[in-house]
Amino acid sequence: MDVEGAFDAILRNRLILQLRKQGWPDFLIRWLAMFLAHRLASVRFEDATAEALELLCGIPQGSPLSPILYLLATAALYMLPGATQRYGYADDTAMLFVGDTLGETTTQANAAIAAMEEWGRREGFAFDVKKTEALRWLGIWFDARLNFTVHITKWAQNAKSIIYHLRSMSNTIRGISAAAARKAVLAVVMPTLFYGVDVWYPGSERVLKGNLGIIQKTLTAACRMILPSWKTTPKTTLWKEAGIPPAEVLLEQLAMRNANRWARLDVNHPLVHRIMQQEHEIQHATHPDEATTRRTAIKSIRLFRNATLAPAVERPRLIPKRFSSAIWTEDKERRPTKERQAKRIRKWSKTQVGLVVYSDGSKTEQDKAGFGYAVYRQQQLIAQGCGQIGKGEVFDAEINGAVEGLRAALTHQRPTEGITVCIDNTSVIDCIGTTAPPSSQMAFRQFQKTGDAHPGMIRVRWCPGHTGIEGNELADQLAKEGAKMPAGDSLPTVSYCKRHMRNLLPTAF
């Protein structure tokens, strides 16, 4: 609630009465009464100055004492019953209501607002109801209908201001290039326009056409800023040439991105609890028919509707940062070239006395990933194997192959015999030496736990692929065979879902 006039609405005699009720000393009240009495004001326009008139209300603007007097005058406002808690900043007042249902909190809010208005009429204050129609919290504007039209309009205006600023920097003859302008749109305009989209976007089947139109107008203005085009240029041509998809496609992609992000949250995250609770209610309130479940999900909360856009994945855990040197890995800052490293590995493998595990990953045209591994001792093959991980990336197959190869090597390990795992994927090597990534987190943690159980006994080296190294070539062949094996019931990995989501945008556009 916003107080109209604020400082100008303070009545001198009412303020003095409030101060007496609050128990302030008489000498201070008399001094303040003299401070607020016989105040004059005049209007000046250029060289002409109007006659000074006495002000009958208000407190001095700019005086360091005025904010304190205003707070004292409105102190009784925060003592009114009805709200769980009240907050105030300058002339703005916020209230917190807690209840079991939306209807209960709405009833409490209406009663509290009525009490505030009654207090205002009694004390000579008025509230600006128009400013109460929308509430801003962390940049999100909540309106009375919760359709977020106010939020979309305000952030679209901010995005247009950026577009007009960029437009002033170039024209059809000179200025920034179209490629640079498009980068600016993607880096600045888009995040501004779609701020809080995970809160307000209700899904493609429930989004308001008016809100969609506001966003599309802003995107069209961005396309015209990028390209020197005629006003009559068809919008589809603008979208294609500027590389900016229409609003429907962008919103759906952002919703899928958020859904994938929610799918990667820890199981104890509050959002995951809400999603799982809603899913439980739908499963127990409807028939197991898929179409019926989908219709029920459409009527559910925004969070659950958008969360269903992403498939179920191997949900990673929130784990602490890893600071351990039990597994030796090569320093990525001093990593040599591919040719030089391949020469080193060939020379090193001829003199290596411990166990050496070569692992690799592969994918088929059917988008299935598999792994293979080969275990050597003094250049003699002693174990090999392969397998399939289902919907995953080569990155995921590589770490699964390393885990299985390490497990096989441990069964053949002699006392005090070291094990070196050779991997041709540097990203996997870097992740082994640090905190496990979200994708295939369980496999990474299993590898790290094995290394922690055998400190100093396991080393990881980079073995460049397709360089004629016998063990790596065998592991690559086994990985291709593993990718062709029958798929199991494993869930898709995080990296697989992220790539699948990125590929949907060009397809839809």
Strands (E), 319-464: 328-329, 355-363, 369-377, 380-390, 419-423, 458-462
Has residue 274 been placed in a domain?
Answer: yes
Instruction: Mark whether 287 and 192 lie in a shared domain.
Output: no
Give residue 339's pLDDT: 92
- Do 209 and 293 sit in the same domain of this protein? no
Structure tokens at 316: 């990673």
> Can you tell me which residue has the tokens 């995005």?
159
Residues 6+ positions from 438 with CB-CB distance below 8 Å: 264, 316, 494
Residue with tokens 């990667």: 264
159/102 same-domain check: no
Which of 254, 274, 298 is at the close of a domain?
Answer: 254
How far apart CA 65 and CA 374 sit, in angstroms, is 81
State the greatest distance between any 2 C-alpha atoms of the chain, in Å, as a whole number. 107
Indicate if 427 and 388 belong to the same structural domain: yes
Are 233 and 208 contained in the same domain? yes
The pLDDT value recorded for residue 340 is: 93
Nearest to 462 by CA among 482, 433, 441: 433
Which residues make Cβ contacts (< 8 Å) with residue 11, sequence separation at least 6? 57, 124
Model pTM score: 0.68
Q: What is the reported pLDDT for 400?
A: 95
**Residue where a domain terminates, one of 192, 219, 254:** 254
Residue 57 within any structural domain of the chain:
yes
Q: Residue 370 maps to which CATH number?
A: 3.30.420.10
Q: How far is CA 9 from CA 17, 20, 90, 201, 216, in A?
A: 15, 19, 13, 40, 43
46 within domain boundaries: yes
11 and 111 together in one domain: yes
Closest among 358, 275, 265, 248 to 313, alpha carbons compared? 265
Of 131, 158, 174, the residue that ends a domain is: 131
Within this chain, do residues 398 and 377 fall inside the same structural domain, yes or no?
yes
Q: 106 in a domain, yes or no?
A: yes
> Is residue 356 located within the same domain as residue 482?
yes
Residue 459 lies in a domain: yes
- Provide the residue-wise pLDDT of the chain in tens; the chain has 509 residues: 667 767 777 888 888 888 898 898 999 889 888 888 888 888 888 888 888 888 778 788 778 888 888 888 888 888 887 777 777 777 677 788 887 777 788 788 888 888 888 888 887 777 776 666 566 777 888 887 778 999 999 999 999 999 999 988 877 677 888 899 999 999 999 999 999 998 899 888 888 899 999 999 999 999 999 988 888 888 888 888 999 999 999 999 899 889 888 888 998 998 888 888 877 777 776 555 666 666 666 556 778 878 888 888 888 999 999 988 899 998 888 889 999 999 999 999 888 889 999 999 999 888 889 999 999 998 899 999 999 998 899 999 999 999 999 999 999 998 889 999 999 999 999 999 899 999 999 999 999 999 999 999 999 999 999 888 999 999 999 999 999 998 778 889 999 988 888 887 666 66
Same-domain pairing of 62 and 97: yes
Structural domain tally of the chain?
Answer: 4
Are 278 and 343 within one domain?
no
144 in a structural domain: no
- CA dist 161 and 428 (Å) reads 44
505, 253 in Cβ contact below 8 A?
Answer: yes
User: Which of 470, 429, 425, 467 is closest to 341 using CA atoms?
Assistant: 467
Domain that holds residue 273: 265-308
Does a structural domain hold residue 504?
Answer: no
Whether residues 461 and 361 share a domain: the answer is: yes
| Residue 26 identity (one-letter amino acid) | D
Neighbours of 414 (CB within 10 A): 9
Does residue 441 contact residue 316 with C-beta atoms inside 8 Å?
yes
Residue 92, domain member (yes or no): yes
269 and 250 share one domain: no
